[in-house]
């Protein structure tokens, strides 16, 4: 239930909330933006250095699961991934 706060007339002024000047928030916001930007740049550069080139070929096998005596390899091929 809400209650009203009754103040006497001519009494002290009352402010409710947190008093933070706007001028203090601007440099704080800029500092956070700079730190986030630096984190993105460093993170992407670290991510690029960990990327490997991968294999240059793969082995492909065709297997018959329904063959008598169990699965049988029908053919094998080495496929180059280089263009």
Q: Where exactly are the structural domains of the chain?
A: 55-83
Q: Which pLDDT tens digit goes with each residue over 53-62?
A: 778 889 999 9
Specify the higher pLDDT residue, 19 or 59: 59
Helix residue spans in 21-77 (DSSP H): 22-49
3-state secondary structure of 42: helix
Distance of CA 43 to the CA centre of its chain: 10
- Residue written as token pair 């809400």: 2
Angle at 38 between CA 32 and CA 41, to 5 degrees: 140
pLDDT classification of 7: cutoffs 50, 70, 90: low
């Amino acid at each position: 239930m809400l209650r009203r706060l009754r103040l006497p007339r001519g009494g002290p002024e009352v402010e409710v909330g947190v008093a933070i000047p706007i001028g203090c928030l601007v440099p704080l916001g800029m500092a956070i933006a700079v730190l986030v930007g630096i984190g993105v740049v460093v993170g992407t550069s670290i991510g690029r250095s960990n990327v490997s080139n991968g294999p240059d070929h793969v082995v492909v096998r065709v297997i018959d699961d329904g063959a008598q005596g169990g699965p049988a390899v029908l053919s094998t091929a080495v496929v180059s991934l280089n263009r």
